Structures are given as structure tokens and as C-alpha cells.
Amino acid sequence: MKAIETLYWSLDPVRPDPQVLARAGKILRRGGLVAFPTETVYGLGASALDPRAVARIFEVKGRPQDNPLIVHVAGPGEVAGLVEGEVPPQASLLIKLFWPGPLTLVLPAAPHLPPQVTAGLPTVALRMPAHPVALGLIAAAGVPVAAPSANLSGRPSPTTAQHVLEDLGGRIEAVLDAGPAAIGLESTVLDLTGPVPLILRPGGITPEELAEVLGEVRLAPGAGGEPCALPRPRSPGMKYRHYAPRAPLLLVEGDPQRVAGRIAELARGYLARGKAVGILAYEETAPLYRLPEGRVSLVVAGSRDNPRAVAAALFGALRRLDALGVDVILAEGMEPRGVGLAVMNRLRRAAGENVEKV
Ligand code: AMP
Ligand code: MG
């Protein structure tokens, strides 16, 4: 891939400069790629109506072709033109309650959408982000914006513009920087095309919140991140190892005290073999580790009592452990409830097969 100059703009997150948004919007309209902040993670945007621009997203990320993209809109009024048939009443209700916000709805796709966006599926994923920069950019572009997370495929999603530049600097036209992402994990993906609403990916809107509105909602097999050997995952993104740091990550789940005990034991084993060890822990358990200074890096990702804070810190913590050059990451699991389910989904995906229950 030929290196290109990546323009960098720092913007006020609340009142972004309209002139910068206009310039970035023009880049999108002309087929360029612009990374931008959302409340979930940083996205890598292209015009959803431009097949060549969308194809470049897959190229620069190294993203598998069968993993579809989320189309971002600046308002609920844009939905009707992107779906086939009427907008279902359930979708309208969810849009009224949760948009703008971290909820992506999968609906039947309008036939004019390029197959690159939907990965050839008959459905499209739609979201209205709750970030003034994202909304201003989409409006300035004047087109719906297809955007996955702005990271190299498989790596932890970017929660800062620096993360984006680490992965994609020199490969994309521009980056808009508005500081760290507030939520820190990708949106909840909800499939409304079947008989029962199905959560394909847990995120900032919890199953509990959705059940309150919809009555019945199910978690797709594997959506908690647990390994599953489905012949045909509902959402192609579900089948890949994902969100992963460079170092292998071993996830230990169970009672917090026992988890910390097991991780300390594993850490001693790795240290004895001369390995540099990273530990991802929470505030409650961090003081339990009494390991030799220097060769163990302990990163604390917030409190178990506050899964939203853990979500916001998680991807940055994984990238920090990579930057410290550890050979292995030992990560504590947390209770998979509320936003904790989304955290555990990402940790289990990052761990791949390396999950231990104690
Ligand atoms: P990313 O853009 O990397 O945050 O991933 C987008 C997520 O949305 C992936 O898990 C996709 O598989 C999922 N997704 C996007 N479009 C669809 C669709 N039409 N049907 C099912 N899942 C989708
Ligand atoms: Mg992603």
C-alpha cells in the first residue's frame, strides 16, 4: 500500500469548527477515508454510497470481506431511504428511545446499497451516533457514512485519535481528534429481521434495557463471547478472533479472589521462564498481587462495581500492555451483567480459546 499524507485535525468535542467538518465531509463525498470520534469508539468512515471508497476500508484495515459495515446516519429521517419496505414499528420505537446512541439496528437493506457495505447480505446495520463531531461530519458529507472501528482488523478498537494513527496513519486521508471516546466499546448490534429481536453483539445499551422496551429479546449464540461452533453465525463479525492485543491473552473467570490467586500463580510460572508478564486487573483485586517489581506490569481497568468505567478503559489498557512489550497478558474476568456482558464479550474474543474458569 502506498503511503499517503494523513491530515490531522483537533476539534472541540462539543462545538466542532464547521469549516473543518466541511473539509472532512468533502473528503468523504469524494471517496476518501476519514477517521472520526463517536461516543463508542473511533470509526473509519467512507461514503456508504461509493463502492470504491467502501472497498478501501476493507483494504486499509485488512478486514475480511464477509464482515459487513455499520452505516451511520445524522438523523432518524435517513433510515427510510436505506431500508427495504416500511420501517418496522419496533425499530421506530427503539430509535425514539435510544438514538442518538450506541444501538445499531439490523433491518432489511434497500436494494441500492452497494454489496460492499452489507457484505452481500440482504440486511443493513444502521446507527445514529451521539457525538457532535460524528453528526456534524455525516451532515457535512451529505451521504450516509459506512464505518467500522478505525483499527487494523483484529486489534483492540481505538478509543483515541492516537490509537487510530498508530494503526492507520499514512493509509487514510484524515483523522478528526476530539479526545477519548466516552463509552469505549462498540455499539450493541440488534437484529430486528427475525421473529424475536436478537442481540448479535452486546454493547453500551444492555440486554436488560432492551428487554424492558421489547419484552422478549434474545442473545445470539456466541454473543456473550463464549466459544460456539455455529455453522452459520448471524453476524459475520462474530466468527473472528477480535479486539486482540499482540501478546497472547489468557482470561481467567470466576470468583474474584480465586481469579487473582490463579493469575498470580500463572504469573510466577511465566516469570520463572523469563517472560515479561502483563496483568489486567480491577481496583478491588489489584492490591492482592504481590509479585516481583519490574518484570510484571499491572494495569488497572477501573472498578468491578462500575462496568461502564471498565468498558471505557479496556481497549486503552490492552494497547498499553502491548506498548509495554509484555510476552503474555493475564486478564481477570468480570460479572457478565449489564455493560459487564459487553466487556466480557470483548475479553473472551481477545482470548480466543485461552479462557480458564476457576
Ligand atoms: P465493526 O464495524 O468492526 O464495529 O463491526 C460491525 C459489526 O456489525 C460486526 O459485528 C458486523 O458483523 C455487524 N453487522 C454489520 N452489518 C450487519 C448485518 N447486515 N447483519 C448482521 N450483522 C451486521
Ligand atoms: Mg471493529
Distance (Å) from CA 261 to ligand 1 centroid: 37
Residue nearest to atom 5 of ligand 1 (CA): 148
pLDDT interval class at 231 (50, 70, 90): very low
Residue nearest to atom 2 of ligand 1 (CA): 148
- Residue 41 CA: which ligand 1 atom is closest? 4
Mean pLDDT, residues 230-239: 53
Q: Is the shortest distance between the CB of 146 and ligand 1 below 6 Å?
A: no
Domains and CATH numbers, the chain: 7-219 (3.90.870.10), 249-357 (3.40.50.11030)
Q: Is the shortest distance between the CB of 237 and ligand 1 below 6 Å?
A: yes
- Residue 187 CA: which ligand 1 atom is closest? 4
Quick check: 325 pLDDT over 60?
yes
- Residue 63 CA: which ligand 1 atom is closest? 3
Mean pLDDT, residues 232-239: 55
Q: Which pLDDT score is estimated for 146?
A: 98
* Count of CB atoms situated within 10 Å of the CB of 188: 28
Going by C-beta distance under 8 Å and a sequence separation of 6 or more, which residues neighbour residue 287? none
Q: Is the shortest distance between the CB of 54 and ligand 1 below 6 Å?
A: no
Quick check: 338 pLDDT over 90?
yes
**Closest residue by Cα to residue 315 from 199, 119, 166, 123:** 166
* Rounded Cα gap, residues 292 and 275, in angstroms: 13
Mean pLDDT, residues 249-277: 96
Rg from Cα positions in the chain: 20
- Residue 109 CA: which ligand 1 atom is closest? 19
Write the pLDDT tens digit of every residue in 177-200: 999 999 999 999 999 999 999 999
Is residue 289 a contact partner of residue 298, using CB atoms and an 8 Å limit? Answer: yes
pLDDT interval class at 245 (50, 70, 90): confident
Q: Which pLDDT score is estimated for 92?
A: 98
Mean pLDDT, residues 166-186: 98
Q: Is the shortest distance between the CB of 190 and ligand 1 below 6 Å?
A: no
Quick check: 169 pLDDT over 80?
yes
**Complete DSSP assignment for 335-356:** --STHHHHHHHHHHHHHTT-EE
**Beta-strand relationship, 123-127 and 355-357:** unpaired
323/229: higher pLDDT: 323
Could you tell me where the beta strands, DSSP code E, fall in 20-146?
A: 34-36, 43-47, 70-72, 103-108, 123-127, 145-146
